[in-house]
Amino acid sequence: MAAATRWSVPIKRDPVLSLIAPVSGLQPLTWSQDHRLAVSTTSSVSLLELVCDVQSNKQELTLHRTSIPVPTEATKMRVGPSAEQAAAMEKFSTHPDPTIRQLFLADRAMNPSIGLHKGMKYASWSPLGCDSNGRCLLACLTLDHRLTIHNSYKRLEWKMLEDLTKKYSERLKQRGYSKKDNIPPQTSLLHFDELQRRFRMQTPLRMEWSSVYTTKQVQPDNTCENIEMVLLAVLMENGDVVLWKFVLPFLETSDVEFYDVVESGVNRPSDLAWWEYDGTDRRMSGLIVGSEECDEIAVENLKCVPMIHPIQKTSLQPHRLHSLPVVSLAISRHGVSVTPSIPTCGLVEFLSRDSNDRASEVLIGHIKNKMNKQSFSERCSLCQEVLPFSDHKQATCKNGHMWLRCVLSYQACQKLTFRRCLLLDTISRLPEPEDPEWIRKVLLGPCTLCDSPMI
């Protein structure tokens, strides 16, 4: 009887929503944090919003509907000078090698003459508080690879704020279609691999928003102002993850800028997701890139973003930023009369090899003056030979005994137990009973490469 009662409960599915075009994309429905539904179709993104009318006595839901149409003009990718690109198209469409010819003819990005699919591929909502009204922005990706950013005005219409596909194409053109290393391409578009590389580096597959971060920005009067920002990560066909920075609230084109590109190294990438760790005193975030080629997942840590500290780009490597204070602290605590356990002499010599940063040169000079003639060297616990400081990651004596270095103190970890970074980037040694208090504090820190906890 109970079962009969349970199955006799009526289920009301109302209202029934009809669409003027079929849905498209792998994930057609996406909800926003401000309770809007985006439906990707072959002709538009259909937007549905629940309208709450306290004056109405109707029991039915009232939905407000708007849409963002798919652009009528197809996206045209530029991968080089018009004449050179046209010559490449002509060459590979009639190439004598059937393998190369078939690869070219079947690729809709390189060969749009076969007809591009029309419709929306994916839509992604930003967090709350990103537009001028404190609501969500909407990133839209069409099946012909156009990525645009939109916002709504008083629920009546949608406005395109930025075309990121066009913006990134212009950036690549200015850089001569080079990789992140800025080395110019060594071959022309008449080589199929180069033509394919240039198309894949600007073909977006998926995009996801980060959470909102608060940073501090120094003003001309030396006061600090809190600035909110959000990152949009865009996964490209070649595995690159392009990061766009949006200063909030996003009002105009100048509020979005290219932030960074990460070469994930993932073959045949297919999916993208942010991960976040929100601890008591730090907040970290990164990206996970998935591949349709196999079951492996590449985790690429991008930037550990403190909520109240500015994100600063720097030419120094992370270990260099951390090691200089460690060396300075070791010398100031011990001077030259006490033998420190930190391999200061070797570490300073290792850091001195990079002469591109003037501020670091000055600091290293002061440290060398304090060190005077100190010649402390680490020794291998197995053979007592000197462990030279030739690598910040590991130490190897002349007899071939190799020890990993602690990422926090830069000492060789010659014990069987140690702590490891949450993302498995590095290790750190455990405090010893004879360690002074300042070393114990250093060893309590997070990973200097990704700011993850050491466990």
pLDDT tens digits for range 391-400? 888 889 999 8
Query: 218 burial class (0-12, 13-18, 19+ CB within 10 angstroms)?
Result: exposed
Which residue has better confidence, 131 or 366? 131
User: Residue 352 above 70 pLDDT?
Assistant: no
As beta bridge partners, residue 247 has 229
User: Residue 308 above 90 pLDDT?
Assistant: no
Compute, in degrees rounded to 10, the torsion defined by CA atoms 94, 97, 100, 105. Answer: 30
The dihedral region occupied by 304, where left means phi > 0, alpha psi between -120 and 50, and beta the remainder, is: beta
- Confidence band (pLDDT; 50, 70, 90) for 130? very high
Which helix (H) or strand (E) segment is 323 a member of?
Answer: helix 318-334
Which residue has better confidence, 156 or 74? 74
The identity of residue 184, as a single letter, is P
* Confidence at residue 191, expressed as pLDDT on a 0 to 100 scale: 96
The identity of residue 415, as a single letter, is K
- Are 206 and 272 contacting, i.e. CB atoms less than 8 angstroms apart? yes
Alpha carbons 338 and 406: distance in angstroms, whole number:
21
- Confidence band (pLDDT; 50, 70, 90) for 294? low
Which segment, 8-22, 118-132, 317-331, 418-432, is predicted with the most confidence on average? 118-132
Nearest by Cα to 45 from 17, 66, 18, 16: 66
* Confidence at residue 366, expressed as pLDDT on a 0 to 100 scale: 60
Instruction: Please give the structure tokens belonging to residue 245.
Output: 């920075």
User: Residue 44 above 80 pLDDT?
Assistant: yes
Average pLDDT on 186-208 reads: 96
SS3 244: strand
Low-confidence winner among 6-20, 230-244, 439-453 (lowest mean pLDDT): 6-20
Nearest by Cα to 166 from 185, 187, 151, 144: 144
Alpha carbons 348 and 345: distance in angstroms, whole number:
5
Secondary-structure breakdown of the chain: helix, strand, coil percentages, each rounded to the nearest 5: 20, 30, 50
- Are 321 and 354 contacting, i.e. CB atoms less than 8 angstroms apart? no
pLDDT tens digits for range 155-194? 778 999 999 999 999 999 999 999 988 899 999 999 999 9
The rounded mean pLDDT for the chain is: 81
* Confidence at residue 349, expressed as pLDDT on a 0 to 100 scale: 66
- Are 392 and 410 contacting, i.e. CB atoms less than 8 angstroms apart? yes
Question: CA distances (Å), 137 to each of 252, 315, 429, in order?
Answer: 13, 32, 45
Low-confidence winner among 264-273, 284-293, 336-345 (lowest mean pLDDT): 336-345
- Confidence band (pLDDT; 50, 70, 90) for 284? confident
Q: What is the pTM of this model?
A: 0.66
SS3 337: coil
Low-confidence winner among 12-16, 51-55, 297-301 (lowest mean pLDDT): 297-301
User: Residue 142 above 70 pLDDT?
Assistant: yes
Which residue has better confidence, 161 or 370? 161
* Confidence at residue 74, expressed as pLDDT on a 0 to 100 scale: 85
User: Residue 338 above 50 pLDDT?
Assistant: no
User: Residue 414 above 80 pLDDT?
Assistant: yes
Alpha carbons 196 and 433: distance in angstroms, whole number:
59
- Confidence band (pLDDT; 50, 70, 90) for 257? very high
Instruction: Please give the structure tokens belonging to residue 272.
Output: 């993208």
What is the chain's Cα-based Rg? 28
- Confidence band (pLDDT; 50, 70, 90) for 42? very high
Average pLDDT on 354-368 reads: 62
Alpha carbons 283 and 452: distance in angstroms, whole number:
9
Q: What percent of the chain has pLDDT over 70?
A: 76
- Are 376 and 340 contacting, i.e. CB atoms less than 8 angstroms apart? yes
Contacts of 215 (CB under 8 A, 6+ apart): 226, 227, 228, 229, 305, 308, 309, 310, 311
- Confidence band (pLDDT; 50, 70, 90) for 363? low
Q: What percent of the chain has pLDDT over 90?
A: 39
Cβ of 385: how many Cβ atoms within 10 Å?
15
User: Residue 125 above 90 pLDDT?
Assistant: yes
Question: CA distances (Å), 243 to each of 85, 101, 193, in order?
Answer: 27, 34, 25
